[in-house]
Amino acid sequence: MSSKQARKGPPQPEVVVRAALSLVNAGGLDSLTMRRLATGLGVQLPTIYRLFDGKQALLDEMSEMIIAEVLDHLQPGGQDWTDHIAAFARALRARLLAQRDGARIVGGNYAAKQPTLAFVEMWLTVTAEAGIAEETAMWAATTVFCYVLGEVLEQQGVTGAEHEALTAAVSGGRYPRLGARSVAGFLDFDARFAFGLRVLLAGLKAECCPRV
């Protein structure tokens, strides 16, 4: 390490997390290693491990940074509680799509940190004001959250080659109800996300709202 690096001191955790997200954007999640991260930051590997005790701890912080950015840029919905939930779902999807392998980073990370807890608190506040029981609201939250993750995970996993292969597979007449138009519709992720969200919210509203 150079004397200039020594004077600068170790990088702040936020700097390391942003560098990790940038590495994933460049090469995908599978390319992220603690050693490659240290090299990119110009520090020794033990420096990274003093901040994060392993890759999973780093992934937790990467997930939390993504969720925090969703909350920072979240625009309030309308008057109905489902409008607020729809606004969050759209904001989460947009942020996950903006980050390569965003759904893989966030999915399965349950760190009890401020951004995630702030999201849960926001959800419970909105649903409590609508008269929805807390346990029901929690199940609704996980349902919407997992729907967004699943849709983004599939979208981020589709490559141009897979699109072409699927189109070719249904073009020979063997599947009369399928065709290029059906494939295009299936891979229209914006349209199918909007449809699925409408159906999901309608079902949640019927399930959660107090009967009059």
- Write down the pTM of the prediction: 0.86
Note the pLDDT of residue 171: 76
pLDDT of residue 128: 85
pLDDT value of residue 17: 97
Kindly indicate the confidence band of residue 111, based on its pLDDT and cuts at 50, 70 and 90: low
The residue among 34 and 167 whose pLDDT is bigger is 34
The answer, yes or no, to whether residue 52 has pLDDT greater than 80, is: yes
* % residues pLDDT > 70 (the chain): 91
Question: Residue 108 — pLDDT band, cuts 50, 70, 90?
Answer: confident
Rounded to 5 degrees, what are φ and ψ at 77?
-85, -160
At 5 the pLDDT is 45
Average pLDDT, the chain: 86
Across the range 179-201, mean pLDDT stands at 86
Contact (CB, 8 A) for 91 and 74: yes
For the chain, list the domains and their CATH numbers.
1-53 (1.10.10.60), 76-208 (1.10.357.10)
